[in-house]
Amino acid sequence: MKADTKARAASRRLPVIGKSRTGIAGLDEVTYGGLPKGRPTLLCGSAGCGKTLFGMTFLYNGAVEYGEPGVFLAFEERPEDLIKNVGSLNFDVERLISEKKLAIDHVELERTKIAESGEYDLEGLFIRLGYAIDSIGAKRVVVDTIETLFSGLENEQLLRSELRRLFEWLKEKGVTAIITGERGEGTLTRYGLEEYVADCVILLDNRIHDQLTTRRLRIVKYRGSAHGTNEYPFIIDEQGVTVMPITSSGLEHGAATERVSTGIPDLDQMLEGKGYYKGSSILVSGMAGSGKSTVAAQFADSICASGKRCVYFAMEESPHQVIRNMRSIGIGLQKWVDKNLLRFSARRPSLFGLETHLATMYRDVTDFDPAAVIVDPMSALLNAGASHDVHSMVLRLVDFLKSRGVTALFTNLGTGAGEVANTEIQISSLMDTWLLLYNRETNGEHNRQLYVLKSRGMAHSNQVREFILSSEGIKLRDAYVGPEGFVTGSARLAQEAKDKAASLFREQEMQRRGRERERKRREISAQIEILKAQLESETAEEGLLNREETAREDQLAADRVAMGVSRQTEARPGTPAAKSTTKPKK
Amino acid sequence: MTGQDGYNLRLYVAGQTPKSIAAIANLKKICEQHLTGNYEIEIVDLMRNPALAQRHQIVAIPTLIRQLPEPLKRIIGDLSNHDKVLVGLDIRPT
């Protein structure tokens, strides 16, 4: 964008380089508009890199999409072979030839059949090419591979000067040309063509790492224009050539406040009742059989049900297998495939290198324009590359998807038992929402549990829920927390029954105890009655005794008085008389 | 017309360049010397007939093609090296 505006601003004063679109997905982005118009571009790479196919695609797109006829000057392949080779891409070359939009000229050169005597030049080639260009009014030319001349003719010095003349001549003709060249050792091309073609040089590469091939493209130079400088992965398949124009994306993507349902009402409930953020990245991790794919499929189902598109990248199962398995739990994906809302893209991770995976994903996403993407399982990509490479690839994929506002759900297969709170590829920090699924063994059975480990930008539930797969999809049960801790599955059912029994027992016990207390109370009050009666009779007795005692005292006193009276003569009345009474007792 | 074992030679040139003129002269000389009367020369100027360049697989100029007797033989250059021409055309020097 920046380069474009700059170029436009400059056009008022200075002539700027024109661009000729290749129509190859991604290549026009990294070259900021295409190849230099009216100039030759050198396309080099080792055998099998796709040079011929690049060239053919350039011409085909030019003829079909941009109204620019083209000439293919082939030194290596016969026209019928060329037509067959690109037939797999649905390029109807024969029709273009009959419509005079494309011309193929095959140059046959065999050193053994040609004798040389004296001086010559390559005027014949110029005349051929010139005639082909003029006869269809060509604007584009591909010369593939002109270096073959070096093995067909002896005089290398002459060839070099003629090649220089050819490229100058092409420029004068004003055609946009691609010259292909075989990669040499230590040089871009075996015969140093880069000396003559200096405007734009593109290098194709085919690297093998761990038996996996990755194709890469790099723009070595582009005179007079800004261009991407990285190595960009590209793929060649039945849909032609696709260059993946991202190698490192920025963090400039906007953040949507819109929400999308997870497809599981109970899970939505755990995420503020609304689900994921649109355009966010979701990681679902767990062990084998913990239900990751099901969570993914539920999400895909809900996306499609809302009329939006979804791409499902299946890394371990075939589409049929996924559809069949999900049908068993009541998720019907086939109807979405039929309605062209769901696209399966199933590839074994070991099929090709990471960059190629990234490029195919890029192609599928740009092509299908989905609202959501599922990668199941992402951890399988570890089979295609080293851990840090996978990290970098996922990072770019996440950035790319975010920049398009595509909600992405990745599943990650954890190893080992218990909760796996880290992923091998350290991507958890890239994820906005992380659902943890575990499969806990208790009492001889495994029960699934789900937990929202994190979910950026929302107040999510902190509860561990029991995760139940039924024929009606996923249900999340509230965690059962009893006196013996957190329990799930049949243990939960058993615990519930046990609790019911226990509470019944407690109730009966309470009643029994109540009755007991009542009985005791009654017993005590009865005892109190008895004691009271005893107390009363006791009191009555005491009064009687007191009275008897008093009567006896009175009697004694009276007796003493009577005694004193009788002894009046001997003693004085009062106390001394009493003294005297004790004396005689001694 | 030549006899049954006569030579039918076709020389492709592009306009009146020095190389073309030299080639024509050299060819005539060789034929006079070694194939007296038993040859036919056809000169094709690709400047006038450019479509023939592709049809007859011409790359270098000048190109001499021995049409007859078969098999087809090709020699490129201004034919200044007579020995090479004789070997190329399979003519025994007389």
Report ipTM (2 d.p.). 0.90
Residue A108: closest C-alpha in chain B: B57
Residue A577: the pLDDT is 46
Residue A419: the pLDDT is 45
Domain architecture of chain B: domains with CATH? 7-87 (3.40.30.10)
Confidence class for position A126, pLDDT limits 50, 70, 90: very high
- CB distance A123–B75 less than 8 Å? no
pLDDT (tens digit, 9 = 90+) per residue, B17-31? 899 999 999 999 888
pLDDT (tens digit, 9 = 90+) per residue, B61-94? 999 998 888 888 889 989 888 888 888 888 776 6
Confidence class for position B12, pLDDT limits 50, 70, 90: very high
Angle at B73 between CA B70 and CA B74, to 5 degrees: 160
For the CA atoms of A108, A113, A116, A121, what is the dihedral angle to 10 degrees?
-10
What percentage of chain A has pLDDT greater than the value 70? 89
Q: Mean pLDDT over residues B18-46, rounded?
A: 88
Distance, in angstroms, between A159 CA and closest chain B CA?
Answer: 10
What's the half-sphere exposure (Cβ side, CA atoms, 13 Å) at A41?
32
The DSSP element (H or E) to which A184 belongs, if any, is: none
Residue A14: the pLDDT is 61
Whether the predicted pLDDT of A426 surpasses 90? no
Whether the predicted pLDDT of B4 surpasses 60? no
Q: Mean pLDDT over residues A199-219, rounded?
A: 84
pLDDT (tens digit, 9 = 90+) per residue, A503-534? 889 999 999 999 999 999 999 999 999 999 99
CATH number among 3.40.1160.10, 2.30.31.10, 3.40.50.300, 3.40.50.850, domain A259-478: 3.40.50.300
Nearest to A117 among B12, B57, B75 (CB): B75
Q: What is the overall mean pLDDT for chain A? A: 83
- CB distance B61–A122 less than 8 Å? yes
d(CA A240, CA A369): 18
Q: Which residue has the higher pLDDT, A462 or A111?
A: A462
In the sheet that holds A465-470, the strands lie side by side as A342-346, A310-314, A372-376, A407-413, A281-286, A433-442, A445-455, A465-470, A473-477
B contacts of A118 (beta carbons < 8 Å): 22-23, 26, 77-81
Q: Mean pLDDT over residues B10-22, rounded?
A: 91
Q: Does A115 contact chain B (CB < 8 Å)?
A: yes
Specify the residue for token string 């009062």. Answer: A574
B contacts of A128 (beta carbons < 8 Å): 50, 53-54, 58-59
pLDDT (tens digit, 9 = 90+) per residue, A74-101? 998 888 888 888 887 888 888 999 999 9
What percentage of chain A has pLDDT greater than the value 90? 27
- CB distance B79–A118 less than 8 Å? yes
CATH number among 3.30.70.100, 3.90.1170.50, 3.40.50.300, 1.10.3720.10, domain A2-243: 3.40.50.300
- CB distance A120–B78 less than 8 Å? yes
d(CA B92, CA B94): 6
Confidence class for position A582, pLDDT limits 50, 70, 90: very low
Amino acid at A407: T
- CB distance A107–B61 less than 8 Å? no
Whether the predicted pLDDT of A249 surpasses 70? no
